Chain A
């Protein structure tokens, strides 16, 4: 499965994921505490510079991820044009784009395995309180593996429907789709148990 990490290497790819996440949390908190136009405009400009520095291709990929919020930007701009409350509107729009832009930068410069390492670092001390962190790691791997499998099965069901009916399949195929998913879950659980269960996977990993 394709992750949203940028294939264009930047210097930020080398920074530790935990530091980037902490910096993002601090930056987002600051953004929401600043209520005037000037700091928001500076933060916005800084965010744009961070996207431009690694080159035009990186900036274009970043723009594709951030532009999903444009309907909300249009909505808020129109709203504040009508109410004639321009400064407040500018603060809100700038803050929204900067917050999403900065968060997306962390996503673009951090690989999936680095994120999973952070999750492991956070969850390991929680084992003392009964959290099965090894089960969480197996579950993450299962979701990543099973999403494309389910999508393919859903596609197969749609094709089967189309071969028999001129109407759209719609929600009716969700039932066989979910039954298949339940059966798959049972098969995978049996397979895991046959190989010694989650406990065995954990000890193998540590050897």
Chain B
């Protein structure tokens, strides 16, 4: 019990800490932050249930006014803004990632975790992000997808990194990778 609570809390803090790393610009000028890498790691390392709880805990702290989102953003305003859909997608994405890693037991963990991060961390998160953007800004789903598309390559890189990191973590601390416990 205590270990689960501390792991969930530490991963919520990890999402926040990764968001504070300054964003790096991709070749074509789109800034990417490490924050969504944290969300992916919650799913691949903690599994579906605890990974989702860690992301929800992080969002709860953002909602009550801590500036933990990348760029020092936070408070209730971010849940009313045009990118609120992505915040809704984060816990659901973490759940899908965790479930995928838990169910796919056969094969290379780096490949499975990377694939899971692409399904949950990109397909699911962008689905909610684009629908949310479309709702707040009144733009069609097609137009919203076009606007968000430049950010996808950065997230593909992060999904691959999440896969490699998960396998390395499983070698370093097998008992802590709860999705494989």
| A159 sits at the interface (CB 8 A) | no
A178-B41 CB under 8 A given contacts A76-B137, A147-B16, A197-B1:
yes
Say which residue of A101, A182, A189 sits within 8 Å of B77 (CB atoms). A101
* Interface size band for B: 35 or more
The reply to whether A4 and B67 contact each other, CB–CB distance below 8 Å, is: yes
Which of B7-15, B85-93, B108-116, B121-129 has 4 or more CB atoms under 8 Å from chain A?
Answer: B7-15
* Interchain CB contact under 8 A, B137 and A96: yes
The answer, yes or no, to whether A9 is at the interface (CB within 8 Å) is no
* A178 vs B75: C-alpha distance when bound (angstroms): 26
Give residues of chain B (38-93) contacting chain A, Cβ–Cβ below 8 Å: 41, 45, 57-58, 60-61, 63-68, 71, 73-82
Query: Are A106 and B76 in contact, CB atoms less than 8 angstroms apart?
Result: yes
A-side contacts of B106, CB under 8 Å: none
* A174 & B17 in contact (Cβ 8 Å cutoff): no
- In the complex, the answer to whether B17 meets A138 with C-beta atoms within 8 Å is no
- Closest A-chain residue to B3, C-beta based? A189
Closest chain-A Cβ to B129's Cβ sits at a distance in Å of 13
Residues of chain B with a CB closer than 8 A to A142's CB:
5-6, 9-10, 13
| A198 and B5 form a contact (CB under 8 A) | yes
- Residues on the B chain within 8 Å of A170, using CB: 24
Minimum CB distance partner of A31 in chain B = B80
The residue on B at minimum CB distance from A69 is B81
Task: Write out the residue numbers on chain B whose beta carbons fall within 8 Å of the beta carbon of A115.
Answer: 63-65
On chain B, the residues within 8 Å of A179 by CB distance are 169, 172-173
- The answer to whether A69 and B82 touch (CB under 8 A), given A147-B16, A175-B165, is yes
Residue A171 at the B interface, CB < 8 A? yes
**A65 engages B77 (CB within 8 Å):** yes
Q: Do A3 and B65 have beta carbons less than 8 Å apart?
A: yes
Q: How far is the CB of B40 from chain A (nearest CB, A)?
A: 11
- A103 to B84 alpha-carbon distance, docked (Å): 12
Residues of A within 8 A of B147 (CB): 75
Known contacts A142-B9, A192-B2; decide if A96 and B60 are in contact (CB<8 Å): no
| 19 A-B residue pairings within 8 Å (CB atoms) | A3-B65, A65-B75, A65-B77, A76-B138, A96-B136, A101-B77, A102-B80, A103-B76, A106-B75, A107-B65, A142-B10, A143-B13, A146-B9, A147-B17, A151-B17, A174-B34, A181-B10, A181-B11, A192-B6
